[in-house]
Amino acid sequence: MNHQYTSEIECLVSASKNVLLEINPELEASFDCMNCRRSHRSVIFKTIGSRGICTPRKKCYGFPGILRSVSIKRDGYLYSVKYLIDFNYEQFIDLKYNTDSKLGATWARINLKLSCPKCERVTDNQTQDNLGRPRIFNCECGYLLYEEKYNPFKYVTHEY
C-alpha cells in the first residue's frame, strides 16, 4: 500500500562576518525510489514545486515526490535552511542488492553563493552530508567565508 510522507531536510551554515550568503533552492538528496525499485538514488529537485528527478534518468521515469517548500532563517551570520519534500512511498526490495528499502532522505547536497567582503568576489560552493569535517572555505583572496565544525544536516520524515 502506498502512503504519503514529508521529509524535512535542514542544514545550518555559519558564514563569517560580513559575508553575504545566498542559498539556491535546488536540492540533491538520496531517497529509496519505489518507481525504479532502487535504494540510495540521487534525486534532484530543481525548484519549489518541481517533481524529483531520479538519477540516472534512463533507468527511472521520476521520483514520486515534489519539493514543496524551502525556508531560510537568518540569525546574525547563522543561516538555517529547511527543505520540505512531499512523496509517496511503499516498502520494496531493492532490485539489484535484494535489500529492504528505507523511508526518507539519508543524504543531501545544497548549493551556496558566497560574496566576499574583502574582494567582492562571488563564489559558488556546495555542502553535503558526507564531507570530512571540520571544513573551512576561503575566498581566493584568502578571506574565510565559512566554516563547518560538525555535520550541519538533520533529517526527519513524517507520515500525513
Whole-angstrom distance, CA of residue 28 vs CA of residue 40: 12
What is the per-residue pLDDT across 92-144, written as a single tens digit (0 to 9) for each?
Answer: 999 999 999 999 999 999 999 999 999 999 999 999 999 989 999 999 999 99
| Range list of β-strands (E), 15-152 | 20-33, 38-45, 53-54, 65-75, 78-89, 107-115, 122-128, 135-138, 144-148
Provide the pLDDT for residue 101.
Answer: 97
Q: Which three cell numbers stand for residue 58?
A: 534512463
At 90, give phi and psi (nearest 5°).
-145, 145
Could you read off the pLDDT of 1-13 as tens digits, one per residue?
467 999 999 999 9
Q: Which residues touch 116 (CB under 8 Å, ≥6 apart)?
A: 19, 122, 123, 139, 141, 143, 145
Predicted TM-score (pTM) of the model is 0.92
Residues 1-48 pLDDT 10s:
467 999 999 999 999 999 999 999 999 999 999 999 999 999 999 999
